[in-house]
């Protein structure tokens, strides 16, 4: 479905004043291109007299207006430039350099149909597969600018341990859950959070090849639809990251390769690492293989140590003597490394002073109920510890006391941390036990059949922000709220004060995510945390009519919706609304599904949600409490920049 954009309309209206470019009502595009190439004075003057055209196709250089000739000519090289969803990218997906498809090259971008468009992606239920509008980045620039304006946040509530109340302001210490279109939510978050998010973790729709695929838009280019969907969101979300911020994207084998090249294009100054996570050890039966794993792309700043060392399990730790051996290992080689390590009940409890040169103790000496362990080998040779007395306390957590067969105590060292490997296996990653069953205990009535293990997400978050106790974490595909849960677990385990922002547009936001976080607030394990959160919705305008239309099962109820739309909705200006009625001879014979498509099509795509710039419009009926919250959220964000 195409709509005539503001830019196209303005250009078309101006060209209509020039008869020489038309033949029997048909525009001769080549004549227009030739005139632009020759800098036709009258045509350029007319085009630049329009502010939208001038803003889109000119720049100001020291007071001189320079027309973007080539960009405007590109505008005319589209097959059908009146359609905002037309794209110059061919209906083939591949790697390209300077417009030519390549098989092998180190400097490539991913070309795919509709790559130069914006896909709004407005599904609110898993089983809805309606056609989505594509906004072309050149042809629909004005529409995209309006689409991405900050939106009013409505139905705002603050959930705490003791209370649920209306929120009048937003603080930087607040956790946040937003219900609404995630692309528009990301753009709404920019005012306050641009350059402030430490980690973005997302688990987007995987675009699986099955009848259960919830990403089956009415478009024959299923993969390109998904790629546009992801490109729009990744580009916008990148602006929210701090200079050393990172992004993690969970994915499976269906789109992993294409997503990787897309990431390379959007994040050119970042490293991309692909991690394999075994999340279903029993496997999902396929035609040729049983699938046990998924992937996670870690996108981190280039050349920086972003991923912290992981804590090893007991069976992974490799222990070795703290006492030196071999060359230059004797006491006299480093006198400040000869001192007792104090042990009680086989636990290290302290460290003695460096031993005087004229004192020659036994390997173990019992003094007042404590055992003093010295670096003396089994032959009685006085050796030295690997660490000097002044630094050994810093590695106390890496030391353990062991008892030999002869009853003599010795000290061993073992690193309990190490680099993350690229294959992650842990029983805690089991999505059935620590995803589905865990969620079922918190929210018994939920629609999720295979939610993420909270510990798989926990370890992903820990790898990036384990040493950032005040980190801000964003998930704009929040699903069942696992990222929020994992953030709370991190804080519980190390006393941190990390905050989460969760965005989800599906209708289960309140029934699942909010209920899950409410359950955690009242859980004994989390009651010591400041785990309150603010819930808000992008305020609907036309979106509420779309929901009513989609949920209607009976034709006679469409009349009431049509009357409501005529009275209260924002409409596409091209529509003859008086003909949209069950009495019209063209409309009446349509099936109920066809009528629903027509009704959705007549709604102005840019008015799905209420823009913040319209907050004082009395027709929206916003109260002072909601206005106060929005001003706090948006104006404070501007002040802090």
The pLDDT tens digits of the residues spanning 80-110 come to 444 455 565 656 666 666 565 544 444 555 5
DSSP letter at 333 equals: G
Q: What is the C-alpha separation between 502 and 620, in angstroms, rounded?
A: 26
Beta-bridge partner residues of 472: 499
Q: Which of 620, 602, 623, 599 is nearest to 611 (CA)?
A: 620
Q: What is the C-alpha separation between 43 and 40, in angstroms, rounded?
A: 6
pLDDT at residue number 309? 85
pLDDT at residue number 211? 43
Q: Which of 485, 435, 425 is nearest to 461 (CA)?
A: 485
Neighbours of 398 (CB within 10 A): 17
pLDDT at residue number 575? 58
Half-sphere exposure of 88 (CA within 13 A, CB side): 12
pLDDT at residue number 381? 96
pLDDT at residue number 550? 82
Return the percentage of the chain with pLDDT > 90, whole number.
Answer: 51
Q: Tens of pLDDT along 172-187?
A: 999 999 999 899 999 9
pLDDT at residue number 125? 59
pTM of the model: 0.73
Structure tokens that stand for 137 in this block: 């980045």
Structure tokens that stand for 197 in this block: 């998010």
Residue 331 neighbours by CB under 8 Å, 6+ apart = 337, 338, 375, 382, 383, 384
Beta-bridge partner residues of 85: none
How far the first Cα of the chain sits from its last, in Å, is 40
pLDDT at residue number 490? 96
Beta strand 370-373 with 364-367 is: antiparallel
pLDDT at residue number 106? 47
- 8 Å CB contact between 637 and 191: yes
DSSP letter at 362 equals: -
pLDDT at residue number 129? 54
Reduced to 3 states (helix: H, G, I; strand: E, B; else coil), residue 339 is coil
pLDDT at residue number 229? 87
pLDDT along the chain (641 residues), means of 10: 68 91 80 87 93 90 88 66 52 61 49 69 59 65 79 94 92 95 94 97 79 41 80 95 98 92 94 95 86 95 91 79 94 96 96 97 96 96 95 89 93 84 93 94 91 96 96 96 97 94 92 95 79 92 80 82 77 63 70 81 75 87 92 72 45
pLDDT at residue number 341? 98
Structure tokens that stand for 342 in this block: 């104090």
Neighbours of 585 (CB within 10 A): 7
pLDDT at residue number 78? 55
pLDDT at residue number 112? 62
Phi and psi at residue 538, to the nearest 5° = -65, 125
Domains of the chain, earliest start first = 6-83 (no CATH), 117-147+175-306+421-531 (3.40.50.150), 318-414 (no CATH), 542-608 (no CATH)
Phi and psi at residue 170, to the nearest 5° = -115, 135
Reduced to 3 states (helix: H, G, I; strand: E, B; else coil), residue 487 is helix
pLDDT at residue number 540? 82
């Amino acid at each position: 479905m195409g709509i005539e954009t503001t830019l196209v309309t303005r250009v078309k209206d101006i060209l209509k004043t020039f008869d020489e470019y038309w033949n029997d009502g048909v525009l001769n595009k080549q004549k227009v291109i030739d005139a632009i190439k020759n800098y036709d004075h009258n045509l350029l003057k007319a085009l630049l007299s329009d502010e939208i055209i001038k803003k889109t196709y000119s720049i100001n250089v020291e007071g001189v207006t320079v027309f973007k000739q080539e960009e405007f000519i590109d505008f005319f090289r589209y097959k059908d430039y009146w359609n905002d969803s037309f794209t110059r990218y061919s209906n083939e997906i591949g790697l390209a350099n300077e417009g030519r498809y390549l098989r092998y090259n180190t400097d490539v971008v991913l070309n795919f149909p509709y790559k130069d468009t914006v896909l709004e992606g407005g599904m609110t239920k898993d089983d809805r597969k309606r056609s989505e509008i594509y906004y072309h980045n050149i042809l629909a620039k004005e529409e995209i600018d309006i689409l991405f304006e900050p939106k009013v946040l409505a139905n705002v509530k603050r959930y705490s341990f003791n209370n649920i109340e209306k929120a009048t302001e937003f603080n930087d210490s607040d956790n946040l859950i937003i219900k609404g279109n995630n692309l528009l939510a990301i753009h709404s978050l920019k005012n306050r959070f641009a350059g402030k998010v430490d980690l973005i973790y997302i688990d987007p729709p995987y675009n699986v090849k099955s009848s259960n695929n919830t990403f089956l838009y009415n478009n024959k280019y299923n993969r390109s639809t998904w790629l546009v969907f992801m490109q729009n969101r990744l580009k916008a979300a990148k602006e929210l990251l701090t200079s050393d911020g990172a992004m993690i994207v969970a994915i499976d084998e269906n789109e992993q390769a294409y997503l990787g090249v897309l990431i390379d294009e959007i994040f050119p100054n970042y490293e991309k690492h692909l991690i394999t996570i075994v999340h279903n050890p029993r496997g999902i039966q396929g035609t040729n293989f049983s699938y046990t794993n998924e992937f996670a792309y870690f996108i981190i700043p280039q050349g920086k140590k972003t991923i912290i060392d992981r804590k090893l399990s007991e069976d992974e730790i490799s222990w070795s003597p703290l006492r030196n051996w071999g060359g230059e290992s004797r006491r006299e080689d480093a006198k400040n490394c000869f001192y007792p390590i104090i042990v009680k009940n086989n636990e290290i409890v302290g460290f003695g002073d460096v031993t005087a040169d004229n004192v020659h103790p036994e390997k173990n000496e019992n003094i007042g109920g404590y055992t003093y362990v010295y670096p003396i080998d089994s032959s009685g040779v006085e050796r030295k510890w690997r660490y000097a007395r002044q630094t050994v306390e810093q590695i106390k957590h890496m030391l353990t006391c062991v008892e030999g067969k002869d009853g003599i105590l010795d000290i061993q060292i073992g690193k309990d941390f190490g680099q993350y490997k690229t294959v992650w296996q842990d029983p805690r990653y089991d999505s059935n036990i620590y995803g589905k069953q865990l969620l079922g205990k918190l929210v018994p009535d939920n629609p999720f059949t295979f939610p993420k293990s909270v510990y798989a997400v926990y370890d992903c978050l820990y790898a990036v922000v384990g040493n950032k106790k005040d980190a801000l974490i964003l998930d704009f595909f929040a699903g069942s709220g696992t990222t929020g849960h994992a953030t709370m677990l991190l804080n519980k385990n190390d006393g941190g004060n990390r905050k989460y922002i969760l965005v989800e547009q599906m209708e289960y936001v309140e029934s699942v995510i909010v209920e899950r976080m409410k359950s955690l607030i009242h859980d004994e394990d989390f009651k010591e945390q400041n785990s309150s959160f603010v819930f808000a919705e992008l305020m609907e305008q036309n979106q509420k009519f779309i929901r009513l239309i989609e949920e209607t099962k009976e034709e006679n109820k469409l009349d009431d919706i049509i009357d409501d739309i005529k009275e209260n909705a924002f409409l596409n200006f091209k529509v003859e609304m008086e003909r949209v009625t069950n009495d019209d001879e063209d409309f009446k014979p349509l099936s109920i599904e066809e009528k629903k498509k027509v009704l959705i099509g007549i709604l102005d795509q840019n008015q799905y949600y209420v823009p913040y710039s319209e907050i004082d419009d009395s027709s929206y009926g916003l109260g002072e409490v909601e206005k106060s919250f929005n001003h706090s959220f948006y104006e404070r964000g501007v002040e802090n920049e």
